[in-house]
């Protein structure tokens, strides 16, 4: 994909910005998008910001603020305050050492990613989370937007 098409796609997804997402790391891209405030807050609480600003590559299945809003407020507050559990939940959303693009998922139907089953029929699902936007390229990986927070057992 050429850079102009990528920039246009990002403008459609996130609104106009002065810097392309591919120039930003995973954290800065999430902050700039504006719809991942809870995710960024959770990453700060779990001391994962520096990790996700690192070299990578990372694939992040990023739940939106609306996805976090599905969790009852008291449960979300308890999760944010339990650093170890929070870290476990957040790391369930990250594939380290690989940038998995949407085209790579086609052959993964029925496979497990971080303990969650991939389904590709009728749209891509990871566990109970539907992938709603794909292939948001960052300087250290890729973000796929999901509509539900993944909760590992």
Cα–Cα distance measured from residue 94 to residue 57, given in angstroms and rounded to the nearest whole number:
10
Q: 20 vs 24, 59, 118, CA distance in Å?
A: 7, 18, 29
Find the mean pLDDT for residues 27-43: 96
pTM for the model stands at 0.83
Cα–Cα distance measured from residue 45 to residue 30, given in angstroms and rounded to the nearest whole number:
16
* CATH architecture, range 21-99+133-146: Roll (2.30)
Domain locations in the chain? 21-99+133-146
- Residue 99 has what pLDDT? 85
- Residue 6 has what pLDDT? 29
């Amino acid at each position: 994909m050429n850079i102009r098409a990528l920039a246009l796609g990002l403008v459609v997804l996130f609104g106009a910005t002065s810097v392309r997402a591919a120039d930003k790391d995973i954290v800065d891209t999430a902050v700039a998008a504006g719809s991942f405030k809870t995710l960024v807050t959770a990453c700060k609480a779990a001391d994962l910001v520096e990790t996700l600003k690192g070299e990578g590559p990372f694939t992040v299945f990023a739940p939106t603020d609306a996805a976090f809003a599905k969790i009852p407020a008291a449960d979300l507050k308890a999760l944010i305050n339990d650093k170890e559990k929070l870290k476990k939940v957040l790391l369930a959303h990250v594939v380290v050492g690989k940038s998995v693009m949407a085209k790579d998922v086609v052959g993964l139907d029925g496979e497990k990613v971080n303990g969650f089953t991939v389904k590709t029929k009728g749209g891509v699902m990871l566990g109970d989370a539907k992938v709603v936007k794909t292939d948001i390229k960052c300087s250290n990986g890729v973000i796929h937007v999901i509509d539900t927070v993944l909760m590992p057992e």
